[in-house]
Amino acid sequence: MKNHILMAGAVVAALAIPFAANAQSGATTGAVGGAVGGAIVGGPVGAVVGGVGGFILGGISDESRPRFRTYVTQERRSSYSYNRNVAIGEELPSTGVTYYEVPAEYGVKEYRYTVVNNRTVLVDPRTHRIVQIIE
């Protein structure tokens, strides 16, 4: 059984290498990393679960979050009052909310950030959907 898991992990890793080489976004990198990590831990099913989880979490990395929170605090952005739950997947209004560029050092140039109900969130500027809550 252990050999099957290792073989599945090796296959997924080999298949993921071209995707990782071409990955331009944090979401893609997260999906590939999640799939490879999931395959090593849980075999083929772990690869699927890890890939989906990695894709959803492809925003600012865990290591960079404290530094990003400090950055946002220093910027003193006003908070948008939102009468709905602040959650991943929620669509924010296209007007009335100010979206700010994320500095390049955080590696998520495809997203913008804003502060909603005193919580910093990453938003896809095309859909205005929250993709990550920075806590």
pLDDT one-digit tens code per residue, 15-61: 444 444 444 444 544 555 555 555 565 666 555 555 444 444 469 99
Contact call for residues 98 and 79 (beta carbons, < 8 A): no
- C-alpha span between 129 and 66 (Å, rounded): 22
Contact call for residues 103 and 114 (beta carbons, < 8 A): no
Reported pTM:
0.58
Percent of the chain surpassing pLDDT 70? 57
- Greater model confidence, 123 or 10: 123
CATH 3.10.450.160 residue ranges in the chain?
65-134
What is 65-134's CATH number? 3.10.450.160
Rg of the chain over Cα atoms, rounded to whole angstroms, equals: 17
80 residue type, one letter: Y
Structural tokens at position 53: 């989880």
Tell me what the mean pLDDT of segment 69-93 comes to.
94
